[in-house]
Amino acid sequence: MKRSRTTRNLGRLVIVCAALFTLAALSSARTASTSVNIVNNSGKELRNLYLAHANDDDWSGNQLGSSTIPSGQSYTLSNVACDQSQVKLIGENLDGCFYYTVISCGGNATWTITADAPADCGS
């Protein structure tokens, strides 16, 4: 049984629309940026800070460079590219223990690492 020409044309229209919508959405996200203020209250100096899209492992380099975030101080990452709706962060203290968090794009986020925040030391 053959589908009617009308039906076929309708299908084509839907696909085109969906594609245009997707492109519009992507164009909007790529262009978004955010900042993250990291507050270190863990009691340990943070030496490395890494971030990646929430759904990828496209980890960045150490965002702190040669700096550190001593305990009791904060540090703000600006212009964090947010190609996705969320960004995941890893903060590493001087012991190599990792703190994890995910922030949403589109605003200024604050990540406070408290003393009782779980640190992934591998054990």
Partner 1 sequence: MKSFIGNPGRRSRQIGPFKRNSMNRVASRATLLALTCVIGLVALGFYSASSAAPFHSSSNGNGSALNPASSPSQTALLRRTGASTLTAAEALWSFRTSSYLPFLPPAGESVETFAVNGSGQCTTTPKSAFALGEKACAVSTGALLGSPIQRRFNWVNSDGRLASVTDITTSPQVNIFQIPNVSTARGSWLVNATSPDGAVKASAAFSVSDPAAPAVDLSLNMANPLQVNANADLVFTVRVANQGPDNAAGVVLTDSTPADTTFVGTAQGGSTFSCVNASGTTTCTAASLAKGAEVLLTLTYHVNSGVADDTIISNTIDVSSATTELDSGDNTFTSTSTVDHVACVISCPSNITVGNDQDQYYATVTYQTTDNGNCGTSTVSNPPSGSHFPVGTTLVTSGGQDGAACSFSVTVNDTQTPSISCPADVTATESPAGSGSAIVNYPAPTVTDNDPQATATCDHPSGSSFPVGNTTVACTASDRAGNTSTSCSFTVTVESLGGCTLGCPQDITVNNDAGACGAVVTYPEATSSQDCAAGTVTYSQASGTSFAVGTTTVTATRSTGETCTFHITVVDSEAPQVTCPANKTVNAPAGQCDVTVNPGTATATDQCAGVTVAGARADGGPLNGSYHVGDTTIVWTATDAAGNTSSCEQIVTVKDTTAPTISCPPNINQGNDPGTCSATLDPGTATGSDGCGIESVKGTRSDGEPLDAPYPVGTTTITWVATDQSDNTATCSQTVTINDTESPTVTAPADSSDSADANCQAPVPDYVSGSTASDNCTPTVTQSPTAGTMVGIGSHAVTVTATDAAGHSASDTVVFTVNDTTAPTVTAPADSSASADANCMAPVPDYAASSTTADNCDSSVTVTQSPAAGTMVGLGPHTVTVTATDDAGNSSSDTVIFTVNDTTGPVITTNGQTPSMWPANHKYKTFLVTDFVTGVSDNCSTLGVGSVVISQVTSDETENGNGDGNTSNDIVIAAGCKSVQLRAERDGGGNGRVYTITFKVTDAAGNVGTKTVTVVVPHNPGETPVDNGAHYTVNGTCN
Residues that bind partner 1 (CB under 8 A): 47-48, 50, 57, 59-62, 90, 92, 94-98, 120-123
Considering beta carbons, is residue 32 or 90 the nearer one to partner 1?
90
Considering beta carbons, is residue 21 or 100 the nearer one to partner 1?
100
Q: Give, in order, the Cα–Cα distances in Å from 99 to each of 2, 23, 25.
A: 59, 35, 31
- How far apart, in whole angstroms, are the C-alpha atoms of residue 2 and residue 64? 63
Q: How far is the CB of 98 from partner 1 (least distance, A)?
A: 6
Q: How far is the CB of 123 from partner 1 (least distance, A)?
A: 4
Q: How far is the CB of 21 from partner 1 (least distance, A)?
A: 33
Nearest Cα neighbor of 50 from 67, 63, 66 is 63
- The answer to whether the beta carbons of residues 47 and 86 sit under 8 Å apart is no
Considering beta carbons, is residue 39 or 97 the nearer one to partner 1?
97
Q: Kindly list the strands in the beta sheet with 46-53, ordered across the sheet, starting from the edge strand earlier in the chain.
A: 46-53, 86-93, 98-104
Considering beta carbons, is residue 33 or 62 the nearer one to partner 1?
62
